[in-house]
Amino acid sequence: MFSYRHAFHAGNHADVLKHMVLVATLKYLGQKDTALTVVDTHAGAGLYRLDQDQAQTSGEASGGVLKLRAALAGTDPATLPEALRDYLEMVASFNDGGPFKHYPGSPWIAHALMRPQDKLKLFEVHPTDGRLLTRNVEGLGAGKQVEVLRKNSFDSLKALLPPPSRRGLVLMDPSYELKTDYEAVVACVLDALKRFPTGTFAIWYPVIARPEAHAMAKKLKTLSTQHQRPWVQAELAVGHTPDGTPVKTGARPATQMRASGMHIINPPFTLAAQLREALPVVLTHLKGKVGAGWMVEHGG
């Protein structure tokens, strides 16, 4: 259950998609003065080093954010799609304009975009990552604005909904190590929508050859439609090389996950268009020769 560590995957193609969506969504929600509560249900350690053992061992960032940055070096940021530009500028802000050695996980991205009136709730049950997250959060000096919760978010999220201000974003991105995670996500989202129908929910999922994964993506669309909530679903597939190996240039074969998706309930009305503009550019620089593509659908 605790074998997954996001440090091995930080900055990969799935993070590029997930964090583009997160940055775009938080920037939009931050335009309104009312306080916002952000909940990360599977927070990880919060901040990662791309030049240390775990990230270097997998090398997945070399097929993700590092490859993207190298390909776009020298490009005028003003010419990039807004969602992609904002994402790359966010990562760059943690590296003082130099090489990308630090990669911000979702908690650090959320914290960077918070206002004084906002709150950040971080769930993490992994023993090692939980300790690292607590230590890292203490280093932020954010006081009570950021809270680490060493609890199972599937069981405990309900206690936070709806937030006092009735404005919130819930990011849900489990590792899906357990097959039961897929049904747990759907059940958790269903309960959360009943408690907080106007909240924004962003759910990450892997696109892999597993029936539960395919079923979950469809269930999220059905659930959103049944509750008469607008939604956006986006997927990015980097594909593979002709011999079937994943696209990367790291130290050892990468994860077999070649694609992932995001389902956003009550998204910014601008999000679908932003992703349709950004994902073709991302794919141009990250794709392999076989099986690459992107998709953005919306409803509601």
- Looking at residue 255, its pLDDT comes to 47
- Looking at residue 300, its pLDDT comes to 86
- Looking at residue 288, its pLDDT comes to 85
Q: Which residues of the chain have pLDDT under 50?
A: 1, 55-56, 243, 248-255
Distance CA 159, CA 220 (A): 22
- Looking at residue 251, its pLDDT comes to 41
**Residue in this structure with the two tokens 């807004």, named with its chain if needed:** 82
- Looking at residue 173, its pLDDT comes to 95
62 annotated as a binding-site residue: no
153 annotated as a binding-site residue: yes
- Looking at residue 249, its pLDDT comes to 43
- Looking at residue 247, its pLDDT comes to 52
- Looking at residue 17, its pLDDT comes to 98
Q: Which helix (H) or strand (E) holds 212?
A: helix 211-226
42 annotated as a binding-site residue: yes
- Looking at residue 157, its pLDDT comes to 97
**pTM, rounded to two decimals:** 0.92
- Looking at residue 142, its pLDDT comes to 82
pLDDT tens across 148-195, in order? 999 999 999 999 999 999 999 999 999 998 899 999 999 999 999 999
Q: Half-sphere exposure (CA, 13 Å, Cβ side) for 102?
A: 17
Tell me which CATH code domain 6-299 carries.
3.40.50.150
152 annotated as a binding-site residue: yes
- Looking at residue 55, its pLDDT comes to 45
- Looking at residue 242, its pLDDT comes to 56
173 annotated as a binding-site residue: yes
Which residue(s) pair with 204 in the sheet? 262
**Structural domain boundaries of the chain?**
6-299
- Looking at residue 240, its pLDDT comes to 76
- Looking at residue 56, its pLDDT comes to 47
Output the CA angle 183-187-188, nearest 5 degrees.
115
Output the CA angle 65-152-114, nearest 5 degrees.
50
138 annotated as a binding-site residue: no
- Looking at residue 5, its pLDDT comes to 58
Do 241 and 288 meet the contact criterion of CB atoms below 8 Å apart? yes
Instruction: Kindly write down the DSSP assignment for every residue of 111-158, as one continuous string.
Output: HHT--TT-EEEEE---HHHHHHHHHHHHHHT-GGGEEEE-S-HHHHGG
- Looking at residue 252, its pLDDT comes to 41
82 annotated as a binding-site residue: no
Selecting among 15, 40, 129, 173, the annotated active-site residue is 173
Is residue 173 annotated as part of the catalytic site, yes or no?
A: yes
